[in-house]
Amino acid sequence: MELEPVKALFLLSPRLTALVTTMGKNGKVNAAPYSFVGPLSINPPLCYVSVGKEGKDTEAFALQTKQFVINLVSEEFAQKAINCEAKLERGENELEKFGLHMTASKNVTVPSVKEAKATIECNLSEVINPKDSDHILLIGRVVGGKCLFEKNGKPDMDSMNLIMHVAKGHFRKVGKRIDLKRNK
Ligand SMILES: Cc1cc2nc3c(=O)[nH]c(=O)nc-3n(C[C@H](O)[C@H](O)[C@H](O)COP(=O)(O)O)c2cc1C
């Protein structure tokens, strides 16, 4: 079938679902779900969160304190994490409102989500405004993170019950592991 451009774009699915935490300069904490999130560079370790330009709290807070935390969403708290999409008064804490909890991060002042089994702590290094686009990219310099499940000294992505976002209210679980030989 031929696809119109936006439908073709969404072939880039599913993507990990993240609950992104940020903090305003007044110390208020914000949390919202994002799935346009990905790795960008290894050296230095950079990642991005693509944020719609309609004046989201995540952008405003990240610009104020220059930090954010990507908290990966597991099935156990998925509905509560997705509830955090609600547009509350700026500064009202979505985590408290929807039954989730904050815990101190190790390398940034912005708190992490206690329920998250894996987190990525970032300093905001740059904001990119792609020409004529409706999203901006928050570029994060990864300064640390945590993962509650490990196997052979590496994060065990199979044990965290992470959920992937397809589109709208459609999600999937991380699927079966497949090992392939690589040419280098
Ligand atoms: C699973 C899921 C993924 C989402 N991914 C994005 C995304 O990648 N970028 C974006 O701008 N909005 C995304 N949204 C919508 C934001 O969560 C929503 O606009 C939210 O109100 C933003 O909150 P904030 O103003 O506190 O940042 C997503 C929503 C859900 C439920």
What is the reported pLDDT for 176? Answer: 83
On whether residue 3 sits in a domain, the answer given is: no
What's the token pair of residue 153? Answer: 């000294």
What's the token pair of residue 53? Answer: 């330009």
What is the reported pLDDT for 166? Answer: 96
What is the reported pLDDT for 89? Answer: 85
The total number of structural domains that make up the chain: 1
On whether residue 105 sits in a domain, the answer given is: yes
Q: Do residues 116 and 100 lie in contact, with contact meaning Cβ atoms separated by under 8 Å?
A: no
On whether residue 9 sits in a domain, the answer given is: no
Whether ligand 1 lies within 6 angstroms of the CB of 87 is answered as yes
Going 173 to 178 to 180 to 184, the CA torsion angle's sign is positive
On whether residue 126 sits in a domain, the answer given is: yes
- Residue closest to 111 by CA, chosen among 103, 99, 119, 100: 103
Whether ligand 1 lies within 6 angstroms of the CB of 121 is answered as no
Q: How far is the CA of 33 from the centre of ligand 1 (A)?
A: 5
Distance from C-alpha of 81 to C-alpha of 17, rounded to nearest angstrom: 9
**Where is pLDDT greater, at 158 or 1?**
1
Whether ligand 1 lies within 6 angstroms of the CB of 30 is answered as yes
Mean pLDDT, residues 12-27: 97
What's the token pair of residue 49? Answer: 């969160």
E strand or H helix at 100, and its extent? none
Mean pLDDT, residues 54-71: 97
Whether ligand 1 lies within 6 angstroms of the CB of 48 is answered as no
On whether residue 182 sits in a domain, the answer given is: no
Mean pLDDT, residues 137-155: 96
On whether residue 37 sits in a domain, the answer given is: yes
Which residue's alpha carbon is nearest to atom 4 within ligand 1? Answer: 34
Residue range of the domain that includes 47: 15-173
Distance from C-alpha of 122 to C-alpha of 134, rounded to nearest angstrom: 23
Q: What is the pLDDT of residues 72-119, one digit of tens each?
A: 999 999 999 999 999 888 778 999 999 999 999 999 999 999 999 999
Confidence of residue 133 (pLDDT cuts 50, 70, 90): very high
- The Cα-based distances of 82 to 32, 54, 64, 117, 153 in angstroms read 8, 19, 24, 16, 31
What is the reported pLDDT for 175? Answer: 78
Confidence of residue 59 (pLDDT cuts 50, 70, 90): very high
On whether residue 10 sits in a domain, the answer given is: no
On whether residue 93 sits in a domain, the answer given is: yes
Q: How far is the CA of 83 from the centre of ligand 1 (A)?
A: 11
Whether ligand 1 lies within 6 angstroms of the CB of 52 is answered as yes
Whether ligand 1 lies within 6 angstroms of the CB of 85 is answered as yes
Minimum-distance ligand 1 atom for the alpha carbon of 58 = 27
What's the token pair of residue 159? Answer: 């044990």
CATH code where residue 47 lies = 2.30.110.10
25 secondary structure, DSSP code? T
Which residue's alpha carbon is nearest to atom 29 within ligand 1? Answer: 33
Distance from C-alpha of 77 to C-alpha of 75, rounded to nearest angstrom: 6
Q: How far is the CA of 44 from the centre of ligand 1 (A)?
A: 26
The model's pTM? 0.97
